[in-house]
Structure 1
Amino acid sequence: MAEHKAEPGSGGASSLGATVRTLAQTLWFPAFFFTGFLVCYLLPFHNPTPHHVDVAVAGPAAEQLDQALEKQSPGAFDIHQVADADAARDAVTSRDMTAGYVPDPKTPQLFVAKADGYSLESVLQKTFTAVAQQSGGKLQMHDVAPTAPGDGMGTGLFYVVLSCTIPSYVSVMMLLRATTFGRRKKVLTLVAIGVVESVVAFFVARSMDVIPNEPLAIPLVFLMTQAVALTSFGLVPFFKSFFPGVAMGLFVLLSMPSSGGAIPVQMVPGFFRALHPIMPMGNLIEGLRGLFYFDGKDVWRHALVIAVWVVAGLALIALGAWKDRRAERKEAAEREEAAAVEEPPVEDPSFELPQPSAVAPHTHRLGRQEPTLTGRVTDERGEPLPGVALTVTGTHGRELMRAITDENGEYAATGLPDHFVNVIASSPERLAAVARVMARDGHPVRQDFRLTPRRTAAGAPAGR
């Protein structure tokens, strides 16, 4: 008889492959986060330089100055000729231009807006101080839009907006664990969180003089929280376990560098400048700048862009609900035909996806998942049966989890898929019982069993 020997190293190769798969499944998100921070933060922030900064120059010297600056810093400044000093100033206050320069042999003037960013103001001052010195004059700086007293660096507005952006995304991640909450409750919770964030952020920033007293900022901030939260929640059914990477990429890795809050948008690479008019964070910062420092310039245009994100989020949520209902109808039709179908993926995945598991009955602690299936196992006299094994399987018969009844004969399970499951109650001395139940997110179900002894119920039905 020929002996069959395993190929050398085959077991090791299989073990190595399993290890690699496990690491890839568990560490892909921190690897994505690490790479994203390097690319999206180090790249635009390591050496910010001006790109196509619009400057209004009074008088006929504009063309000559344009040529000189283009030779010195190619692509850094775009010079536009205006009639006089008043026109140069008005171009800055109306946000048509970033700066205004008035050439004069003795006292040249530069109009800037610190509200557009302290680092951009510094670059403009350095550049045009050198221009003034070449003509023998001493530059006079005029800040036509100074920031609030508590925002000396001009970045306070960015951190106010950031404090409402990241929690809006994280709130979605945490609500995905609330298995007893349906879709509607989760949406209402996200709206309530947005109200609290926007009100608290406004009054805290006001107490520190980071922003002026403009209450209209509260609905603008609230609108942005909903743009982030509702869009993130709407993406869950479509990206499932990859949702954290997609939402984090959109609202953290791409939104923050393109917002123009920490570093003015005129000083980041072209890719992020192109994102600036689209992303909700950048539009909120520009809208608040217009509201606080530029007499409401373009506030409603930026609010409209943020509102489009809110509508898109609501549309995604509605589409996800329709997708789930369609899957339920399909499952019902196939069940009637007794056709086996694959279990749909678990709804609302997060960093730690809800897994089918047993939990202690009647134990509800903060941060723990609520039971989605509960029940009690009794004997033929209605007395509780402790130590009975409860096995939950999917429609294929694949075991999802096991539980053991406590001293009161009770059991509880959580994290079950939004689907029909089979629940089997078994004990060595009694006839097993089986039931088919529908586990649904936000709708806990109860299933009790009565087990009869084997010696007195031979041939009897397995259970109810």
Structure 2
Amino acid sequence: MTTEAHAAERRRPPLIAVIVLLTAVLTVFLIAFAWPSARSEPRNVPIAVSGATPAVEQVKTQLGQAMPGGFEITAVPDRQAAVQRIEDRDAYGAIVLDSAQPEVLTASAGGPVVAQLLTQLSARMDSRAKVTDIVPLPKDDPRGAGLAAGALPLVLGGIIAAGALTQLVRSGPKRMVGAIVFSITGGLALAAVLQYWLGSFEGSYLGNAGVIAMSIGAISLTLLGLEWLIGTAGLALGGATMMLLGNPLSGMTSAPEMLPNGWSTLGQLLPPGAAGTALRSVSFFDGAGAARPLVVLACWLLLGVVLCGLGAMRTRGRAVQPRHEASAVAA
């Protein structure tokens, strides 16, 4: 065996170290994807209650005993006000305390898990209660499976785009152009499948496609910028963050308020969580409640552009230094 081969063999980590590393990675994956679901329960879920003051206070007490800290209750004057709060995405549902016919208002399009939970609670509180879905999911996808399953492709789209462009395109500016163009075509394609084939979306097709494009672009440009600045480690770190934190904490399979405290807030500050909330708002609520998540996505897009700009400046600096050294040697 040559000296170079001996040196290469010595640089390789021992087998036990590789096994420990793989076990740790597998454990992290399990925790990241299983922990939010295993600890899923309502935490300060906003709902509205209308009725006489004593009846409203009684409902607050009953809900507090049934699920302590589960609901954030706002008293409203009547059913119309409760409906308005739901349509404005200020509440996931409402309880209308009518002595003749109690009613529970839900919005399965805003969160099917929360709607199901409110339906179950209404049956326990008053068997006479009527359940009305104010903003229902589409008939072709009554469980919201398409939107929930679409969370992973949104993340993978940005990660795969950054990885492929890094490997296949040498020019940094061309990588950025490729990421932007792919985010647009990817947004149009995914929105078409989810809206026209699976029937999981409603509302404006271009609006839905625009949210998806912003999500893919935010992830891909950020990862490209990280790779440009610190190499493969930056790409790996950014991809792991989006996959292990952004995807499971997005709340797209349930609702952000069903996730552990603190983690739900973090999830909404990452592109997958912001995209999920914005998609529900744009598709089912005429854009109500979409301002904040769209601002989050715009900030990530801007961050990606800034990181790419810093990477370009660093590359230019590295290119200029050898030319200066060559000029000095020639002189």
Determine if the TM-score, normalized by the shorter chain, exceeds 0.5: yes
Q: Which structure has more RCO (C-alpha within 8 Å, separation ≥ 6)? A: 2
Query: 3-state SS of the aligned residue for 2:47?
Result: strand
- Match in the other structure for 1:162: 152
Q: Higher mean Cα deviation, 188-197 or 235-244?
A: 235-244
- CA shift, 1:308, in A, is 1.2
Unaligned runs of 5+ in 2: 1-6
Q: Which amino acid letter does the alignment assign opposite residue 46 of structure 1? A: A
- CA shift, 1:321, in A, is 0.9
Cα separation, partners in 2 of 1:257 and 1:317, compared to 1, 3 Å: same
Q: Which amino acid letter does the alignment assign opposite residue 128 of structure 1? A: S
User: Does the CA contact (< 8 Å) of 1:164 and 1:197 recur in 2?
Assistant: no
Which of 154, 174, 177 is 1:185 aligned to?
174
Which has more radius of gyration?
A: 1
For residues 304-319 of structure 1, what are the structure 2 equivalents within 5 Å? 304-319=295-310
Cα separation, partners in 2 of 1:46 and 1:110, compared to 1, 3 Å: same
Alignment length (residue pairs): 319
What stretches of structure 1 move > 4 A for 4+ residues in a row? 14-19, 21-28, 30-33, 334-338
Query: 3-state SS of the aligned residue for 1:55?
Result: strand
Aligned mates of 1:23, 1:221 — CA distance in 2: 42
Aligned mates of 2:159, 2:117 — CA distance in 1: 34
User: Does the CA contact (< 8 Å) of 1:257 and 1:263 recur in 2?
Assistant: no
RMSD (Å) for aligned C-alpha atoms: 2.6
- Match in the other structure for 2:41: 49
Aligned mates of 2:200, 2:268 — CA distance in 1: 24
- Match in the other structure for 1:224: 215
Q: Higher mean Cα deviation, 101-110 or 257-266?
A: 101-110
Cα separation, partners in 2 of 1:193 and 1:31, compared to 1, 3 Å: farther
- CA shift, 1:91, in A, is 1.6
Q: Give TM-score scaled by structure 2 length.
A: 0.87
Deviations 1:281-338 (A, max 9, x none): 2222222211221122133443222111111101000101111222233334445566
Cα separation, partners in 2 of 1:325 and 1:25, compared to 1, 3 Å: farther
- CA shift, 1:130, in A, is 1.0
Cα separation, partners in 2 of 1:194 and 1:27, compared to 1, 3 Å: farther
Aligned mates of 1:40, 1:174 — CA distance in 2: 25
User: Does the CA contact (< 8 Å) of 1:168 and 1:228 recur in 2?
Assistant: yes
Is 1:273 paired with 2:264? yes
Unaligned runs of 5+ in 1: 1-13, 339-464
- Match in the other structure for 2:4: none
- Match in the other structure for 1:199: 188
Is 1:20 paired with 2:13? yes
- CA shift, 1:68, in A, is 2.6
- Match in the other structure for 1:410: none
Percent identity of equivalent pairs:
23
Q: Which amino acid letter does the alignment assign opposite residue 143 of structure 1? A: D
Q: Which amino acid letter does the alignment assign opposite residue 270 of structure 1? A: N
Q: Which amino acid letter does the alignment assign opposite residue 191 of structure 2? A: F
Identify the structure with the greater strand proportion. Answer: 1
Deviations 1:58-83 (A, max 9, x none): 12122222123222321111221111
Aligned mates of 2:223, 2:68 — CA distance in 1: 40
Query: 3-state SS of the aligned residue for 1:302?
Result: helix
User: Does the CA contact (< 8 Å) of 1:257 and 1:272 recur in 2?
Assistant: no
Q: Which amino acid letter does the alignment assign opposite residue 192 of structure 1? A: V
Identify the structure with the greater helix proportion. Answer: 2
- Match in the other structure for 2:162: 172
Q: Give TM-score scaled by structure 1 length.
A: 0.63
Deviations 1:182-208 (A, max 9, x none): 112222222222222111112222122
Is 1:323 paired with 2:299? no
Is 1:36 paired with 2:25? no
